[in-house]
Structure 1
Amino acid sequence: MMVSSSINTFTTNYCSCKPIPTSPIRRIHVRPSLDNAIEVSNGISYCSSPIQKKRSLIDHHSLSFTKHHFQILKSLSPGQYGKTYVVRSKLNQQIYCMKIQSKRLLKMHSDRVSFDVEQAILSLQHPCLPRLYCSFEDDTDHYLVMDYFSGGDLFSLLDRQPTLCLTEKQAQFYMAEMILACQALHQLGYLHRDIKPQNILLDHLGHVKLVDFGSSILISQATKNKQSTPVGTCDYVSPEILDSFQGDATYGTEVDCWSLGICLYEMLQELPPFYSDVSENDTYRKILFHQGQVSFNDMLPISDQAKDLINNLLTKRENRLTLDQIKMHSFFDGIDWDTIYQSKPPFRPRLHSDDDTSNFFIPQDILQEAKQDDNPDDDDDDYISLSQPITPPLSPLLKHTCYIPSSLEQ
């Protein structure tokens, strides 16, 4: 009783945002993020259309861009620190995604989100990641203009399935491309720290693109410097990141491998393995004390190979498979890792135009609110977010008591 009371007191005192009601319908279980930078799709949806792939890019390095170089076409998912739009460049008439982030809010939460890190990653121009077209700023906001991916996200793809799941063959494909994208990010020197279906986008052919790098961090920094701020999203965060709230945690690529395991489980079993309809705190408890907690739904049977891979990802960090070990697992028998991006995806998005947003799922009530606030010139920071922030209790949720920082005590 004391544990529950302390945790609830902590969450109430620490989190300034009101919770979002969750729907009993599976795919609308919008869950709070651990850091204020996260949105359900982080408001980002990127992807090159067939027309965009043929475009002749303008030499944007020689130009000084402003928001007036772009025509706002459609609003996408609003985020905790800003808004995202489908836009058309007035210079080359191509479609892009424009992410606008409030400088004031970014400064307030600089321990949780970094515009500079996201900009740096997008600037690397890796084929598994969105391409940055340009970035600029004004007195109140930062702007990122990047590829718009009209194929939707993995979350929306799952939502459209009759069973709300994928077959193992389909999951094998998406998981394989997610692994390659994650491996590419690690090779560039960064951890993602918020891999989830909403951050796995699909291009016009249906291939995977990894997005949303606001919570990313240099691997060298995460492994050498003790981390004190949990980031990520409730159902997908690793126990190592939750432990960072104690202020003495370091971690590495294993945190992204954990999140990949959560995604695979969700693709095959409908819900994340530690999901709780009781509270987010109950999910945190399950994650922190995850040993022996992973169970499988007999109504959604999966192979022993799939179970073995999941169990070897959702385990202690010292036993967790690395990305190279994952690629060698029997679950991926038959996958040609060298040619998968030339293969045919299980689903090809149906697109009616370059600026089509129909492949993204956004709850109607939130979408209506977003449409009422669809002016990027507004100076207010009263953004609507599909995924509100919450900071979990310290990992010594200790089975006995929960430490509450003195600054938060009543």
Structure 2
Amino acid sequence: MEYYHIAAPANQRTLAVPGLFAPVPKRSPDKYSQNANNNQKKCSQQATAFFKDSVKRAQERNQRQSETERRLQEPNVSQEKRDQIWLTTGRKEGQYLRFLRTKDKPENYQTIKVIGRGSFGEVKLVQKKANGQVYAMKSLIKTEMLQRDQLAHVRSERDILAEAESPWVVKLFTTFQDAYFLYMLMEYLPGGDLMAMLMKYEIFSEDITRFYMAECILAIEAVHKLGFIHRDIKPDNILLDHGGHVKLTDFGLSTGFNRLHDNSYYQQLLQGKSNKPRDRSSVIDQINLTVSNRSQINEWRQSRRLIAYSAVGTPDYIAPEILTGHGYSFSSDWWSLGTIMYECLVGWPPFCAEDNHGTYLRIVNWMQTLCFPDDIQLGPEAENFIRRLICNPEDRIGRGGAQELKAHPFFRGVQFDSLRRVRAPFEPRLASSIDTTNFPTDQIDQTDMASRLKAQALQGAETPLEDSLEMSLPFIGYTFKRFDTNFR
């Protein structure tokens, strides 16, 4: 083959010396050490996360600037007010930039009380030492996340809470991490959860049920508008704020069909870490009760409370298409709403059984097992609404959006646009901002478990966790800081 100097005109090209231009070297990572390859992976992930966050922050800042300019253009704004708006905006932006450069850590917070604990970690009521602000801090053990294939779940929860701006979803303020734990700092909702309300009152009237189901519709709709399916709607995950209104939490099983929410992504990222086959029993509770005995129902609820923060899922409210793996969609969350409404009116979930396998069988065979007790009279509209939710996906109300549910006769007269301004049926009575009376803290060991959890995380580690690829690579990009609330 002949080589020419192509920069010269065609009639002046001269024959080039063969071999003058060396071929492009092939990429051969095998010739580098394992440590070099690991560093390359980390740098690549960190660069991707950095530029992605930078672009997103620039977009958000432009939106805030546009909103500020819109306010300044309003005709009734005086020059003095305009100057004040500019001054306040500049101060907030500067504070936020300084906040982004500040590394958060658990030592910045004082623990008031542990309000939940499980095999993955714990949830604590904490107070920021610098300003006294009260939060709920969720701590997750990194090694447990890795060993139990929970990487996709924890990332999914972080992403949806970081994206959500809805009053129907628990607010996430910031996420941070160290070598051992992932931390999520969220708003503290002192009203407890719907499970606690059911344990206290056993059943609700149709009017009270209508209120909570209407708020749940708006909460689930807010999640769906973000492009996520919750997949774990249950009374434990329906929290109540200081006014008794609903907020959804615990998005660990949610999916937004994002590659970061798929376990296979992390298997490929870590190379050689295979996903263990999921045991069917891991999504089914161990339940022991006879549904005809109401005291046993509350015993079952007490046992449910013990696993609220554990790795074991709760099948009673999960749609059959999720359990069988036959495909699911946004309507799967509406099935869960139907089972919760049934429990509110009847006193127990529609498919509870003697054991975990029985619960699963009753759900997948719902056509034969769904029944309404003769001694409990439900209004025809309430029963019809439940049956429209607990049915085959293709027949389920809500396939065309939440508006279908809002239009059902059961909600006739409900003003969905102003629900949050309506007084809730149950308003929590709180002694202070750190009141935990609506949480079962007396059932939770209050001793400091941080040292034990760190020892558990270190057990069997061949290298220091801060230097371990497995403990750092999957969690790059996890840190999040919300604007306008954190730098107080």
TM-score (norm 2): 0.61
Output the amino acid matched with 2:173: Y
Q: CA deviation at 1:381?
A: 4.5
Confirm whether residue 265 of structure 1 aligns to residue 342 of structure 2: yes
Q: Matches of residues 11-410 of structure 1 in structure 2 within 5 Å?
A: 59=96, 60-110=99-149, 114-124=153-163, 125-161=165-201, 164-219=202-257, 232-244=313-325, 249-276=326-353, 278-322=354-398, 323-361=402-440, 364=442, 366-367=443-444, 370-372=445-447, 374-378=448-452, 379-381=454-456
| Structure 1 residue matching 2:160: 3-state secondary structure | helix
Partner of 1:391: none
| Structure 2 residue matching 1:242: 3-state secondary structure | helix
Output the CA distance in 2 between the equivalents of 1:112 and 1:294. Answer: 36
Output the CA distance in 1 between the equivalents of 2:456 and 2:237. Answer: 23
Output the CA distance in 2 between the equivalents of 1:303 and 1:219. Answer: 39
Mark the CA change 1:165 to 1:381 in structure 2 (over 3 Å): closer, same or farther: farther
Q: CA deviation at 1:294?
A: 1.6
Output the amino acid matched with 1:133: F
Q: Is the 8 A contact 1:219 1:253 kept in 2?
A: no
Gaps of 5+ in 2: 1-91, 265-276, 284-312, 458-488
Percent identity between matched residues is 35
Output the CA distance in 1 between the equivalents of 2:455 and 2:346. Answer: 41
Output the CA distance in 2 between the equivalents of 1:155 and 1:300. Answer: 20
Partner of 1:36: none
More helix by share: 2
Output the CA distance in 2 between the equivalents of 1:135 and 1:165. Answer: 37
Alpha-carbon displacement from aligned partner over 1:308-360 (angstroms, at most 9, x marks no partner) = 01111111111111132211111111110111111111111011111111112
| Structure 1 residue matching 2:333: 3-state secondary structure | helix
User: Which protein has the larger Cα radius of gyration, Structure 1 or Structure 2?
Assistant: 2
Output the CA distance in 2 between the equivalents of 1:380 and 1:315. Answer: 48
TM-score (norm 1): 0.72
Alpha-carbon displacement from aligned partner over 1:260-292 (angstroms, at most 9, x marks no partner) = 00100011010000011x101101001001114
Alpha-carbon displacement from aligned partner over 1:59-83 (angstroms, at most 9, x marks no partner) = 4434210001100110012123111
Query: How many correspondences in the alignment?
Result: 313
Output the CA distance in 1 between the equivalents of 2:208 and 2:347. Answer: 14
Q: C-alpha root-mean-square deviation of aligned residues, in Å?
A: 2.5
Q: Is the 8 A contact 1:313 1:321 kept in 2?
A: yes
Q: Is the 8 A contact 1:191 1:219 kept in 2?
A: no
Mark the CA change 1:221 to 1:176 in structure 2 (over 3 Å): closer, same or farther: farther
